Structure 1
């Protein structure tokens, strides 16, 4: 009896109930607790979106040109591959994975094909701008990988595309930017313009800030006048930069050589070891001025020490001017032969006496080291005089008082042989000619009377330029 009662209760619980008269009432399976229509209930379960809204969703499919994202909308959202990353031409599988939850921005609720179009890149961009602006305001450092080399610099992924100019990558300009691809860099934000989508970074500012203490110590230990060794790090139109082992200093083009320099590249090249003198240290601007020529022998001083007024020197005509001619008498040393010192007779123009490239004897008639000026004379050289020291061992005075080249040395014979090639001896006539000075140089004739007899007396001109 008790078993039957238990079974009856169980049956009623699973299938419904019976009343006293034995009528069966099925148990209630569902109840209307929606409070709305079924269509309204379906609409209520979907996410509502608007253009420009930020949404979260799950990646459900990855194709070559797009990614599908489930955000709980009536249809899945589409992220075109170009809207996946700030990097160009990326493989979607390298950016997202199936099942990953990501943030996206609604570009349009419904395009012409009825699709919900989203952008992961622009969602990242919007989030990043807030962070970047806050860091710029606080003068903080940003960091990210270098993703591209573009004209003039690098692109750094800092949540958006930050431009790092080539001149601001290192403390000195870098020529090859390719090795920076994929490296993590730290930089300061120096320019920010959201309207123009412009972010300019400076790694150099970050490096300078971190090395300021070291740089200050280096500058304090640098003394004007001291000589330092360094390496040429960069050559520019106005000079050359030298790495002194802690900072770069500049050798201005005027301090590269005692000679005239058309371009610094003709004197030094990147990587050259050099010995330089410190000319100036600007602590406020952190700039060091250097001189290369200060560590070298001054050719003018060297010339002045080995020559005196009244001596004869051999030179080459380099330039003709209205008032005379310039003659090179040493390495980087030029003197002026005034038109009045070109000949014993009157000369209307330098072309009547000399031509550019011509070699001849001249006499030093004035030597002004302070002003770096030498006055020379062709007509006084024709009257004879004492040879400068460097010529004495090579020339002898003949019976007529002319300077002629001495006997040919073994070195001279070897030079002639090399000139004619294959180590063969020079022809007899050439060797004979080689024992005498060139026509212009061999005979510095003394008889001034003959020159005076052949030409009219020199006439003074009213418009002669100074003999310097």
Structure 2
């Protein structure tokens, strides 16, 4: 393509006389009679696109002066059709290259004008530290080529933190870049995506910490899952959503509730700016299953549940996700029980009878012994007679130690 940058009239004399070539030659002949005192080589002027052919563009630069932009002078990118770069009637900036041909036709370059403006913009961005955004147009040995109005280069070491083995995913992406080095003489513009991303992340982090408060509801994206919880990207800062704060019910792994990339609303539970830590809660923004629990579980009623935990003093039974009750060891069977595992195991589905409900303290006392007796008597819906629970008995003592959701011995990190 560079060979075509020489005088167009000499090239066209060796070409077949196609309508497009004849049209361009007629354009050049017309220019020979145009007064051009107002434009000089090296000027950057505004011009209006007045004609487009397959090989070039005719531009009116004012004062009845018109010039030609050859195809290779339209853009620093490869161009097949002038219409992909300019439109008829569009006003563009052009660089005056000089005159060509026997008739002295005015020769213009949109590419040179764009590059001049791009260099000025890059130099200003380097001075101010501004982050630019540019599309990746090519993958070359050692890095990426981006379009910043001219060809800019991102070395592989400046694409991201760590080693980038495959650069293919970056092709055609618009990426943030920071100007690292400029050399007009060598036409070299070195840019860094890694530095730009670090600066953007720091700015987002400062903005988030300036406005975040405990108790706020924040929107985030699940960044990663671990055995103990999930890290939520709040926009520049990751917060930890501990597994104990994900659901009102018991879960074995965060993947039962969340997936990477999922958008969620979470509540800010605790902040530690010095350590850059944020503790989050998900169940706090979900409906509380203990609300209206007295209406769903009436004293004396029989309900089926799942044994979810055994303790020395009894068994915890899940009536619904987030609502568990305690079957004291004395209420497991009619005979004396030495340890709960003699009667039930985790995962068992059993019938229980509700002895008392304390929604305020999230406590429900249950009896398997009475439920078994009622079922034996043929009552599966509601048992109208039940024993009063003595608050001073061992059952009352152990209920004080029970609180729904207190499954883990260690505190959320």
- Please give the TM-score of this superposition, normalised by the length of structure 1: 0.43
- Which of the two has higher C-alpha Rg? 1
